[in-house]
Structure 1
Amino acid sequence: MSELSHLRLMAAYNTWMNQKLYDAAATLPAHELAANRGAFFGSLLGTLNHLVAADTIWLRRFASHPARSGALEAAQALAPPSALNAIYSDDLAVLAEHRRMLDGLIGSLTAQLADADLEHVLHYASTKGIASQKRFGDLLLHLFNHQTHHRGQASTLLSQAGADLGVTDLLMLIENVGDPAAPAAPA
């Protein structure tokens, strides 16, 4: 599988898992979503807000990529978060809509990229103002790894609250090969 194909798979997995995460969270009452369970961002709602903040930061950085795809232009219009623990919304439905928009941008971005775009060195400053320059394909990989890390925390918080996230394996999105009679993985 090419690097670009792998990143597109990760974008699809990201969208699938975020939908599952928000669907499971929607089964909980508001006080359970906001309950401080000792996670790095306190609550499930805090963790979901952090993912929105971090993805917004990265998408805005990615907007400086010279490919200037439509997804990157749309990302540039996003308001920057005030901090990594910024609260976009205490209302799960509002936050879920924002999450779907971000996931759409990420999916569009990976769909529009060419292999050569992954080699571009992106210059950006961290939230603390530290200058960095890193290969764009590696930064996309970081974006997906960061999401997976915090979704793992969120799945634990859901479990603590009594909600079942269900199957979370990337394997569910990987196509079977070699046996044309084998069923396709569920989407």
Structure 2
Amino acid sequence: MITPDYCRTMARYNAWQNRSMRLAMETLSLAELLKDRGAFFGSILGTANHLLWGDAMWMSRFSDWPKPNLPGAESPRYMPTLATWGAERFRLDAHILYWSDHVKALDLTGDLSWYSGVAATQMRKPRALLVMQLFNHQTHHRGQIHAMLTAAGCRTQDTDLPYMPQQGPWL
């Protein structure tokens, strides 16, 4: 279904896009980042926090990353400021890059079982599908953030995969 090369490409894309998003977010005040913009998670920072929370939750299932210390319903408040969000985003993106550089084809086979607090049930799905979910979830919510940043007057960078630099900086 997917390969280690897919994981490496998407991990680089994730880090590249998060860096770009952070640079745009840094042009706004905390009040602007927290302003309710009608998105599902309210604000730019709320949506960025939800995305960070989701990435941390999936990586806790795929690797040795610690599970977030709050439930999914509270994910928009995961990090209180852009500085704390940026530091944690940097750490997690570095971990996702490291994980992707070491993932083997065998690691993408079989099922993964976990308890989903969001769905309040035990789950079991193909591991490859869940890795695809990690990357799809990132792209989905970054698209929302991109739209909110654009509406707030921020200059954003390209988001298309063919324009991703062949070399870093990813972070």
Task: Report the TM-score when normalising by structure 1.
Answer: 0.82
Give yes or no for contact 1:53–1:84 (8 Å, CA) kept in 2: no
Cα displacement (A) at 1:26: 0.2
CA distance in 2, matches of 1:12, 1:24: 19
Call closer, same or farther: CA 1:92–1:149 in 2, change over 3 Å.
Answer: same
Correspondence 1:9 to 2:9: yes
Q: Give the count of matched residue pairs.
A: 165
CA distance in 1, matches of 2:113, 2:44: 32
| Higher Rg of the two aligned structures | 1
Aligned partner letter, 1:29: S
Q: Aligned with 1:16: secondary structure?
A: helix
Query: What is aligned with 1:18?
Result: 18
Q: Deviations over 1:55-87 (max 9, x none)?
A: 12111222xxxxxxxxx22x0x34432224421
Q: Deviations over 1:120-149 (max 9, x none)?
A: 311112123322212212211110000100
Query: What is aligned with 2:70?
Result: 81
Cα displacement (A) at 1:88: 2.1
Query: What is aligned with 1:30?
Result: 30
Residue identity (%): 36
Structure with larger RCO (C-alpha < 8 A, sep 6+): 2
CA distance in 2, matches of 1:155, 1:148: 10
CA distance in 2, matches of 1:15, 1:146: 14
Task: Report the TM-score when normalising by structure 2.
Answer: 0.89
Correspondence 1:130 to 2:130: no
CA distance in 2, matches of 1:91, 1:52: 13
Query: What is aligned with 1:116?
Result: 106
CA distance in 1, matches of 2:9, 2:139: 13
In terms of mean alpha carbon deviation, does 122-131 or 149-158 score higher?
122-131
Query: What is aligned with 1:68?
Result: none
Give yes or no for contact 1:46–1:85 (8 Å, CA) kept in 2: no
Unaligned residue ranges in structure 2 (runs of 5+): none
Give yes or no for contact 1:33–1:45 (8 Å, CA) kept in 2: yes
Unaligned residue ranges in structure 1 (runs of 5+): 63-71, 174-183
Q: Deviations over 1:97-131 (max 9, x none)?
A: 10111111111111111111110311112123322
